A and B are shown apart, each in its own frame.
Chain A
Amino acid sequence: MADAILTATDLVKHYPIKGGVLRRTVGHVKAVDGVSFQLMRGETLGIVGESGCGKSTLGRLLMRLEEPTSGTLDFDGIDMYSKKGSEMRKLRRDIQIVFQDPYTSLNPRMTVGDIIGEPFDIHPDVVPKAGRRKAVQDLLDMVGLNPEHINRYPHQFSGGQRQRIGIARGIALNPKVLICDEPVSALDVSVQAQVVNLMEKLQDELGLSYVFIAHDLSVVRHISDRVGVMYLGRMAELGNEDEVYQHPTHPYTQALLSAVPVPDPTLRGKREQIVLTGDVPSPANPPSGCRFHTRCWKAQEKCKVDTPELIERPDGVGAHFSACHFAEPRLVIETVDVSDVEPDERFSSTEVVDPGALLERDGAATTAADDVVSDGTQQGEPVGEPDASREDVFREEVRGDAPDRRDI
């Protein structure tokens, strides 16, 4: 495999809890508590986990938007946390972020051209002043937006279009690593597929490495080469996509995967669902030993005392990283990898429709509300009832079933 571009070692982020009259520190929220991983050049590392497990904090640590409590981060041979001032600024060119909520990640008072052009203002040596407008228009074109909309404001775009603008800003400086902090969670399911496909396209074209943070297991599987599962600030399991999804060894991963809805009524009631009891413990006072032992059906005395290390453990076929004393493979869900399946042309295109060509065919008057729909511009023959089937088709795609198998 290719060499590592990003190496995190024992990343820790504790937030102090202040209490009392004197605002003394009475405890710590252990948001990220010893996370180590490597990101290879050109690969996508998916990070999954439920809300509050420290995924987003990890993303912000990787961006150095937060200072870590301890740990090191090696970016392409440079120790990122030791850099200051202009050196750090220079480093930021190579590592960028795409945020979750496209409604708060774009400044409402700036035009799209100013938003995407801001990276060039901050790093003026990347593109000469005269070429900036052109560079911004190229970026808009690259993410599938109309370059003529350069002077519009964010509120004139739909959620999916805004997320494309956020991606364009992220790739403007031609970074090596793009941290994606739940980039599709806030989007409509129909638009999610387009944005995910756009990100895959950009990865191929620009040779980007992604850290893809999400809580949607199917989306992560679709885009990732390797997947890390987080629980309460620690990595529970880390392996390539097949290893984690097909023979997970950590009980938490198994429970997570068994909760994925399967859009197939014939499987209803026939598959085993692992229902966890209790809530996620507070990260301010995490359980001793294995973090998961309070909810784990396999837990024994050893789990309360010994912290299981994230080491390679046998998974039936080979071995991958898992942090469980009693790691054993278990087939949880029948999932199919669709990476090699021919994509469904109707829903995977990121091209913008040439408006002129279609205007001649159908010049019906439309309203501005249709703009939302225009985000999902698709060429080719549309199938009937697009509204009813859009969501299903995306799920099918993730699962890899052909649409015609849907009929029962």
Chain B
Amino acid sequence: MTNAAISATADPSLDAGEPAGEAHSLTSDAWRLLRRRPIFWVSAGLILLFLLMAIAPGLFTNTSPTAAVLKESRATPSTENWFGRDVQGYDIYARTIYGARASIMVGVLATLFTTLLGALLGIVAGFAGGWVDTLISRITDVFFAIPLLLGGILFMSTFQSDVNTSYFVIVMKVVLVLALLGWPSITRLMRSSVLQVKPNDYVQAARALGASPWRIIRQHILPNAMAPVIVVSTINLGVYIAVEATLSYLGIGLTPPAISWGVAISAAQSGLRSAPHMLLFPAMFLSLAVLAFIMLGDAVRDAFDPKTR
């Protein structure tokens, strides 16, 4: 085929396939890749289910999670109570459904705060450079040195809750400690990501055009540096849920009468051998939720990674 013929037929065929106006951005490419992955649909479905549980537990059960039937304490699963009853005679199925709210709330809010704080500091450090970068990076190092769990235990035992502390305040306390100790990893990631994007010629071209720093960050740096942060945040969400359960299990996170998976697991410890179902169900839900978020993060990372294309 001749050169002219090749070039001539190439254009119309492209135009016929996609009318002018349609285009593939990197995001839409990632979405098309994501759509074909079953692991994405499974994790997204699970997450939606858990979110629904957190928002409207009444959709899943009519039983009150605080209705104790003491004489049926430690009842094994039956047609009446699918998951059985715990020491107090509460319906485990209802407790597990209602427990989702605390975990999801802690996970989502902690992720939101760490991402906002971490990304903001990371952008400032990476873009400004110089002594601003040094200052932020050293502060990040200081906070990074504190182990998440140890710091959490310290914080929660210093600012202890009592019976009168409201549910919301306790949740916010856990969120606060996670946000306080979780932002450094996001800051580091964002900073390195910004440093990678900044020397690109398109950023230089914008500078040459006279664009303001704010415009350069908003238009050029942020959209190109955000992908790894989104991925890590999604994975972190699962980790935060697990940490909340750990703190509750240790008795310093959420405490009864608050309902959460961690609290349920902690309570199930006493009758582990005689009534293992008390541990099984909340633990299973916890694992599923953590797994779902980590799997989602994995799938999103694969989709955004240009090397896989």
Q: Show the binding face of A for B, using Cβ within 8 Å.
A: 60, 63, 65, 88-90, 92-93, 96-97, 99-101, 104-111, 115, 118-119, 122-123, 146, 148-153, 155-156, 166, 169, 173, 353, 355-359, 361-368, 370-371, 373-380, 382, 384, 386
Chain B residue contacts of A149, Cβ below 8 A: 20
Number of A-B contacts (CB under 8 A): 148
A-B contact pairs, 27 of them (CB 8 A): A65-B204, A88-B210, A97-B204, A99-B201, A99-B205, A101-B201, A107-B219, A107-B223, A109-B224, A118-B206, A118-B209, A118-B219, A146-B11, A149-B20, A151-B21, A153-B23, A166-B205, A355-B11, A358-B5, A359-B8, A361-B8, A362-B9, A370-B7, A370-B9, A373-B6, A374-B6, A382-B3
Q: Which of A104, A122, A152 contacts B202 (CB 8 A)?
A: A104
A106 touching B202, Cβ below 8 Å: yes
Given contacts A65-B207, A375-B7, 4 further A-B contacts (CB under 8 A): A105-B202, A151-B21, A361-B5, A373-B6
Cα–Cα distance between A90 and B25 once the two chains are bound (Å): 32
Which of A65, A89, A150, A374 is within 8 Å of B7, CB to CB? A374
Identity of the chain A residue whose Cβ is nearest the Cβ of B197 in the assembled complex: A107
Judge whether B142 is part of the interface by a CB distance below 8 angstroms.
no
* Residue among A106, A109, A361, A382 with most chain B CB within 10 A: A109
User: Residue of A at shortest CB range from B226?
Assistant: A109
Enumerate chain A residues within 8 angstroms of B4, measured Cβ to Cβ.
Answer: 353, 358, 377-380, 382
| B145 close to A (CB within 8 Å) | no
**B201 lies within 8 A of A104 (CB):** yes
Q: Which of B2, B9, B12, B209 contacts A92 (CB 8 A)?
A: B209
If A92-B209, A108-B26, A109-B26 touch, whether A371 touches B219 (CB-CB below 8 Å) is no
Contact: A122 with B215, CB < 8 Å? yes
B9→A122 contact, CB < 8 A: no
With both beta carbons as reference points, the residue of chain A lying nearest to B25 in the complex is identified as A153
Q: Which residue of A lies closest to B5 (CB)?
A: A362
Give A119 to B223 CA distance when docked, in angstroms: 19
* CA gap between A152 and B17 in the complex, in Å: 13
B1 touches A364 (CB 8 A): yes
**Is there contact, CB below 8 Å, between B6 and A148?**
no
Tell me the complex Cα distance, A63–B6, Å.
Answer: 40
A364 near B5: Cβ-Cβ < 8 Å: yes
Residues of chain B contacted by A110 (CB below 8 angstroms): 219
A398 and B230 CA atoms in complex are apart in Å by: 51
**Residues of B167-187 contacting chain A, CB below 8 A:** none
A166: B residues at CB distance < 8 A? 205
Contacts of B63 in A (CB 8 A): none
Q: How large is the interface on B (under 10, 10 to 19, 20 to 34, 35 or more residues)?
A: 35 or more
| Beta-carbon nearest neighbor of B211 in chain A | A122
What mask results when residues 219 to 245 of chain B are scored 1 for a CB within 8 Å of chain A, else 0? 110011000000000000000000000
> Nearest CB to that of B204 among chain A residues?
A65
Q: Are A92 and B210 in contact (CB under 8 A)?
A: yes
Contact residues in A for B80 (Cβ distance below 8 Å): none
- Interface presence of B162 (CB below 8 A): no
With contact pairs A65-B208, A358-B5 given, residues A148 and B20 touching in the complex (Cβ less than 8 Å): yes
The smallest C-beta distance from A310 to any residue of chain B, in angstroms, reads 28
Residue from the list A122, A146, A153, A374 in contact with B209, Cβ < 8 A:
A122
Q: B200 interface residue, CB < 8 Å from A? A: yes
CA distance A146 to B224 in the complex (A): 27
The winner among B5, B8, B200, B210 for most chain A CB atoms within 10 A is B8
B224, A107: Cβ atoms under 8 Å?
yes
Annotate B1-40 by CB proximity to A: 1 below 8 A, 0 otherwise: 1111111111111110000111111110000000000000
**Which residue, B9, B21, B24, B200, has most C-beta atoms of chain A within 10 A?**
B9
Alpha-carbon separation in the docked complex, A382 to B204 (Å)? 40
Distance in angstroms between the alpha carbons of A363 and B1 in the assembled complex: 12
**Interface pair B15/A363, CB less than 8 Å apart:** no
Q: Which residues of B contact A358 (CB under 8 A)?
A: 4-5, 8-9
Report Cα–Cα, A276/B206, bound state, in Å.
Answer: 40
> Once bound together, how far apart are the Cα atoms of A96 and B171, in whole Å?
55
Question: Which residues on B sit within 8 Å (CB–CB) of A357?
Answer: 8
Given A123-B210, A376-B3, the answer on whether A107 and B13 have CB atoms closer than 8 Å is no
Distance (Å) between the CB of A404 and the closest chain B CB? Answer: 19
- Give the residue name and chain of the B residue nearest to A363 (CB): B9
Cα–Cα, bound, A173→B220 (Å): 20
A366 lies within 8 A of B13 (CB)? yes
Q: How far is the CA of A291 from the CA of B207 in the complex (A)?
A: 33
B24 engages A355 (CB within 8 Å): no
A276 to B22 Cα, complex, angstroms = 55
> B residues within 8 A CB of A362?
5, 8-9
A359-B209 in contact (CB<8A): no
Q: Specify which chain A residues have a CB less than 8 angstroms from the CB of B1 in the assembled complex.
A: 364
Which A residue sits closest to B21, measured CB to CB?
A151
Residues of B within 8 A of A105 (CB): 200-202, 205
Nearest CB of B to A379, in Å = 7
Residues of B with C-beta under 8 A to A115: 202
Smallest CB–CB gap between B167 and chain A, Å? 42
Contacts of B26 in A (CB 8 A): 108-109, 153, 155
